[in-house]
Amino acid sequence: MDRLLIEGGVRLRGHVAVSGSKNAALPILAATILCDGECRIRNVPDLRDVNTMMEVLRTLGVAAERNADGSISTRVLDESPIEAPYKLVSTMRGSISVMGPLLAKRHRARVSLPGGCNFGVRPIDLHVKGLKALGARIEVEHGYLVAQAGELRGTEIYLGGAFGSTVLGTANVLCGAVLARGTTVIENSACEPEVEDLANFLVAAGAKIRGFGTCKLVVEGVERLNGIEYSIIPDRIEAGTFLLAGAITGGEVTVDGARMDHLFAVVDKMRECGVEVTSMPGGARARLNGRPRPTEVTTLPYPGVPTDLQAQLMALLSIADGISIVTEKIYPDRFIHVAELDRLGARIRKEGPNAIIEGVPALSGAEVMASDLRASAALVLAGLVAHGETIVNRVYHIDRGYERLEEKLQKLGARIHRDKA
């Protein structure tokens, strides 16, 4: 298995370009199942998860190819396949987002239940509730969600659960509603920029949706959607990770293409920590002199601090000048990185959904294990500032969601390279 070797202590400086958003690209690629004619999706990052989604689409009778210019073309060739198999869904939960498009367009779906993930139980009851409200019959059989519907019918749906709204659940129900008969109102829909991007894609393809970017979506069903060209938004989580990389190393990093309007909560927290974050034409810059100040962070659905930047913020707070508290409100068990950060000399104690971080003046390099995508990014950030060498094992997690991470960091001056297995 590949690993990353990092020699810490370099202040990162310069410009880095943000890639397209993974979490916007996945449901949009799934939604191309709805479109008659060819779709050409631009600004899709070259990632393992995107390749997995292309594989899922091919299994479902969709030709999906990466073009020389980096865009991805899709065209439905055969509408008879309806199964997203365990071997693919189990490697990437995002595959569940084919469920709504399949039901809407092919009236049947057989999608493997994704199972747990490295940060705990991740239910899909809200996806099921929403699609059932549109008229689908859904059973669990032999580890698969088996769904059928004659014609989906518009209705009012409340899509909130114990942990708030659901991103991919909203995507599934939205994709079901765009071809349903009549009007669908989705209350407590997720308003993450990635859901807004999906809604923009669907509208460009001919759907009628109002309220996107808010927590109430109103959808008037249409007969058909067309193939279109569409460009994915920049990845706010990758952008946030690079801004934090600049800060944690006491350097100055400009992220070209970063959308400040998607990063308000994170930028606000970074500023509380003393990081100077500046909006630039077409991007954002972060700079920090000295140690960060401690703060309290609570992850929340958008526009709150995203859970996908919790681990990276924790890496920054591990060297803060005082005690910080991080509360995880989306995935209370998403703390596997705590023990690994502690191996690098951090002093973090987990108590229920909270982590109490006693900032230390310096981290020291060690061998650590990546447990999930964002946890891996946090370990890389910590390794960039730790004294000596840090080895991050199980890099395949990073390859799921960060495009050419080490190459981009090298351009900023980092001493990081990949040891190929």
Q: Look at residue 156 and give its three-state secondary structure.
A: strand
Closest contact distance (angstroms) between CB of 89 and ligand EPU is 12
Name the active-site residue from 117, 175, 191, 215. 117
Using the rule CB under 6 A, which residue among 34, 44, 103, 168 binds ligand EPU?
168
DSSP state letters, 262-290: G-HHHHHHHHHTT-EEEEETTEEEEE--S
DSSP state letters, 99-146: HHHHHHHHSEEEEE----BTTB----HHHHHHHHHTT-EEEEETTEEE
Using the rule CB under 6 A, which residue among 254, 295, 307, 390 binds ligand EPU?
307
342 and 129 Cβ atoms separated by less than 8 Å: no
Task: Mark out the alpha helices in 152-235 (DSSP H runs).
Answer: 167-178, 193-204
Phi and psi at 349, nearest 5°, equal -120, 130
Closest contact distance (angstroms) between CB of 274 and ligand EPU is 27
Burial classification of residue 13, based on how many CB atoms lie within 10 Å of its CB (0-12 exposed, 13-18 middle, 19 or more buried): middle
Q: Which candidate, 332, 325, 339, places its Cα nearest to that of 379? A: 339
Closest CB to ligand EPU among 305 and 416? 305
Letters for 273-292 (x = contact with ligand EPU by CB under 6 A, - = none) are --------------------
Closest CB to ligand EPU among 124 and 228? 124
90 and 114 Cβ atoms separated by less than 8 Å: yes
CA distances to 213, 275, 383, 396 from 365, in Å: 42, 24, 6, 20
254 binds ligand EPU (CB under 6 A): no
Q: Among the candidate windows 50-58, 160-168, 358-366, 391-399, which touches ligand EPU by CB under 6 A?
A: 160-168
Letters for 320-349 (x = contact with ligand EPU by CB under 6 A, - = none) are ----------xx------------------
Distance CA 41, CA 39 (A): 6
Using the rule CB under 6 A, which residue among 345, 401, 402, 403 binds ligand EPU?
401
Closest contact distance (angstroms) between CB of 188 and ligand EPU is 11
Distance CA 370, CA 357 (A): 20
Closest CB to ligand EPU among 103 and 167? 167
Distance CA 91, CA 286 (A): 34
161 binds ligand EPU (CB under 6 A): yes
| Catalytic annotation present for 39 | no
26 binds ligand EPU (CB under 6 A): yes
Closest contact distance (angstroms) between CB of 234 and ligand EPU is 14
23 binds ligand EPU (CB under 6 A): yes
Residues 346-385 that bind ligand EPU (CB under 6 A): 373-374
Q: How many residues line the site for ligand EPU (CB under 6 A)?
A: 27
398 and 377 Cβ atoms separated by less than 8 Å: yes
249 binds ligand EPU (CB under 6 A): no
Residues 115-144 that bind ligand EPU (CB under 6 A): 122-127
Q: Which candidate, 28, 55, 49, 48, places its Cα nearest to that of 40? A: 28
Q: Catalog residues that contact ligand EPU under the rule CB under 6 A.
A: 23, 26, 93-94, 122-127, 161-163, 166-169, 190, 194, 306-308, 330-331, 373-374, 401
- Catalogue the active-site residues: 117
